[in-house]
Amino acid sequence: MNGIMNMGLPKLFEMLERDSEWVNYYYDVENKFPHLSASIGKKPQNMPKNRYCNVWPWNHSRVVLGRSPDYINASHIKSPIVNHQYIASQEPLSGRNESTKDDFWRMVWEQNCSVIIMLNDPSENNSYNSAKYYPYFPTGQQDYTEYTGKEGIKVSLLSREIKNCYFYSKLELSLEGKPPREIHHLQYKGWGDYEVPDSAATEFFEFLKEARDLFESYPGPPIVHCSAGVGRTGTFILADVILEIAKERKSLNVDVKEVLEKLREQRMWLVQTPDQIRFCFMAIVEGVKKLDLTEFAEDRVNV
């Protein structure tokens, strides 16, 4: 893999594909950060609020709720170079600790978030993953048009569109009698845990582009989540960040490994499999073509 540091994204993708190097490329990305601590997420009182026993937010980047208890399994993410911000979060829990649904909506309110990107199916694997934290129209079931939680939280469904590979819902969020806010909720279809989407990279890029348009049109950091908020969430954020860096610097030579390491220093385990990083590259290459970035320079971009 000599010369990889001076190779543009499309050429790098071609080389990794030709030489079947995705496993080596993926495991060459640093995933251990002994200087960082996740001790707050490991506290006994907070462990029931974690979906998995080995995925916690780093202390330095965790989202802190504005009341006690202040813990939620979510992390602030700031991208290098372009300075875009995200919140990467696990999906609220069902059954074991449904208070995480109210924690989630309080986070949306306090962080002034306007866009939520959901990358998992609410009924995947088993009912434990199905938090049903937002109102929607489930197929073959009674309409679910409003969620009412504690602390004066109320979420109402305003509209719902079925797109090619995702659902687009407009929600209204109100908290403690304050004026309501409109929330844009995009749920991607057909993306299993530890897997890549059923849809092609072309469709995923169109979803990414729709999301980016919303990010730039409405205030606050977007919330991106899957079940744990690391694998699929990391794949989405990494693809968006790389394309934004390429546009900002007018260069296709972006060090994806270095960018992913910087993102993992803000939330552990982002992008969980070689297949996910391969799909991320596929979406990036599709974006390079669709955004007409193919004429950009190949000079090195440091992050």
pLDDT digits (tens, 9 = 90+) for 213-251: 999 999 999 999 999 999 999 999 999 999 999 999 989
The three-state secondary structure class of 136 is: strand
pLDDT of residue 2: 43
Residue of 53, 113, 165, 226 with catalytic role: 226
Q: Could you tell me the sign of the dihedral formed by the alpha carbons of 230, 163, 126, 40, in that order? A: positive
Q: Whole domain around residue 68: which residue ranges?
A: 4-301
> DSSP code of 144?
B
226 carries an active-site annotation: yes
Structure tokens of 302?
Answer: 């440091």
So what's the pLDDT on residue 92?
A: 93
Tell me how far CA of residue 276 lies from CA of 19, 109, 193, 264, 271, in angstroms: 17, 31, 11, 15, 6
Distance CA 273, CA 131 (A): 25
Domain count along the chain: 1
User: What CATH number is given to the structural domain containing 25?
Assistant: 3.90.190.10
pLDDT at position 143 is 65
Q: How far is CA 125 from CA 53, 77, 119, 130, 235, in A?
A: 17, 28, 14, 9, 20
Q: For residue range 86-130, what is the model confidence (pLDDT) as tens digits? A: 999 999 998 768 899 999 999 999 999 999 999 998 776 554 555
**What is the arithmetic mean of pLDDT over 19-37?**
96
What does pTM read for this prediction?
Answer: 0.93
